[in-house]
Structure 1
């Protein structure tokens, strides 16, 4: 019988050899070795190395959007991100039917219906639905703008505002209209655009029921009911409901005439003035009065003219109860009561209540005399002066005295005659 001990001994020696060989030849798994703290290495150095290597691993495993090139850390994030390009809106508001890309966006939106604004600013008292919105708002008071664009160095209060701004430089327009091929850099612009296709007008006036595409349009409209005119001219004090109307009005004071006739070079303050003037070149007057035969370039002018035949004066001054055929006539009349003179001469300090009076006055400075008599060649600044002058040649005396039937070429002459001879 064999002695079992040598066998046991051999086996033990063999095990020892194998164990030592494994210790000498064993290599740590690549990932494990990276994060193994080696002898003599400081823990801080190890932490920095670990962070750097983790970043490299994330970069290797990143998922890149084929549409805009943005990199995301996992496939799920990429799938969620792709909704931006696809326009896929999975979350629906059960109150108004609006769709949202994200559940968080729907949650925020629902506070619009509940009117819940639990977060209040301690400085100005403004309330917000979301804590993040309050924090962003508070930066307005502190002046903190810690997000900077590296292209133009412009700074922003929030990362969201910076992201929107950066699309100016990149040209990125991730939001595509579901009805046409137009693309937009911001969801708000897309939403507004899509109302062209859907004809949606979500903003309704609670006074008259009129609806609008934009909240800003409703705000402007409400001025009709409230009478609020927050935009005031610093030259003459006239107030307007809209900033655009104030801007147009300011041209009266600056004399800025942006609209030029390509036929004669004459310039106009308003586009409407140029359009009316162009008809003078075309001599086109398609609208005719059925009562007197007078013709007009615009249908609106004909309608206004016909009111004179019917003696309809629907515009009344509340100061003196005088009535007028048109609103512009009433507006001009009101300046008698207010003393308003919005038209200032560009050559001197004189001011006028009517634009036509200003035009007449300015010819004194320019020396312009555009009206010429065909009989003698004499020139005049104003058309009415030429008409009166022509009566010298024709002998016409259209002004008749009702008391003695004497006739005069001028109304002023008739007035003097009546005062001298027939007044008691």
Structure 2
């Protein structure tokens, strides 16, 4: 009987130990859960703190206590940022730091031109371009060169003009190395290499490499002669011809032969004279092969074949 009693007591002790061990394990298993709950609680408190103080991305306030007006402006600003972000992602993929700049940019896509000139009706998408255009009608030239006093309607025109004084030539031909102070001059020069003649006469179909040359050519069709000699009244369709004519009255002979020293009033006459020294005879008869130094001699010869 004593043995049975001792065995029963050992079972009771073992049972108590087992229960305590299970309780310890249960407490141990609950610790990570408790820690996780505490972390979640801290995160919720942090989010609540930020919401209560209206923290917005890239916005920094000096104090935590803000008036309702400041909070309203912050929300409106955040909303504008979201709008800009939307257009950055889905429209032009171009970013802007102000909503107004985005609004102006969108006119490129919508082709909206809200600024109309009251004098000529031309429209513009940008207020600055519109104001610059108005100077064409008013004659205003607010940008003046401090070195020579010449004035310009646009600031970019003044900057371009300043290269005359500085000697700057930022546009260089990659083929021959010649440099120019204007981008347009380089573009015109490149046509010498490419042979491009983009300007076509609508009357006869003749092509020209410069717009100015087409303009001069058109006078052969219109009969326009805008350059008139004040002394004899003779008119010319080209400025160069007019200036050469003036030397008749002044007696000036600015073109001198480097071989013999003879001077001429016109460059064309000097070029013809130079054939005496070079022996060049550029006018060749296709019928008999005879060549001539002067065009007038060539024409006279051609009449003999008729």
CA-CA distance at 1:183 after TM superposition: 2.1
Partner of 1:82: 78
Q: Does 1:260 align with 2:172?
A: yes
Structure 2: stretches of 5+ with no match in the other structure: 1-47, 247-253, 260-266, 282-292, 298-306
Q: Which of 377, 386, 389 in structure 1 is aligned with 2:274?
A: 389
Equivalents in 1 of 2:53, 2:276: separation in Å?
Answer: 94
Partner of 1:11: none
Closer, same or farther: CA 62–244 of 1 in aligned 2, 3 Å: same
Partner of 2:55: 64
SS in 2 for 1:306: helix
CA-CA distance at 1:310 after TM superposition: 3.2
CA-CA distance at 1:262 after TM superposition: 0.5
More helix by share: 2
Q: Does 1:221 align with 2:151?
A: no
Structure 1: stretches of 5+ with no match in the other structure: 1-56, 88-172, 337-356, 361-368, 374-382, 401-424
Whose Rg is larger? 2
CA-CA distance at 1:261 after TM superposition: 0.7
Q: Which of 183, 186, 191 in structure 1 is aligned with 2:103?
A: 191
1:242-281, aligned counterparts within 5 Å? Answer: 242-281=154-193
Residue pair 1:202, 1:212 contacting (<8 A) in 2 also: yes
Equivalents in 2 of 1:292, 1:70: separation in Å?
Answer: 71
**Aligned pair count?**
208
1:304-358 C-alpha deviation (Å, 9 max, x unpaired): 31323432246899xxx997758xx59x98xx9xxxxxxxxxxxxxxxxxxxx9x
Partner of 2:4: none
Q: Does 1:311 align with 2:235?
A: no
CA-CA distance at 1:185 after TM superposition: 0.9
Q: Which of 212, 231, 240 in structure 1 is aligned with 2:124?
A: 212
CA-CA distance at 1:286 after TM superposition: 6.2
Closer, same or farther: CA 79–60 of 1 in aligned 2, 3 Å: closer
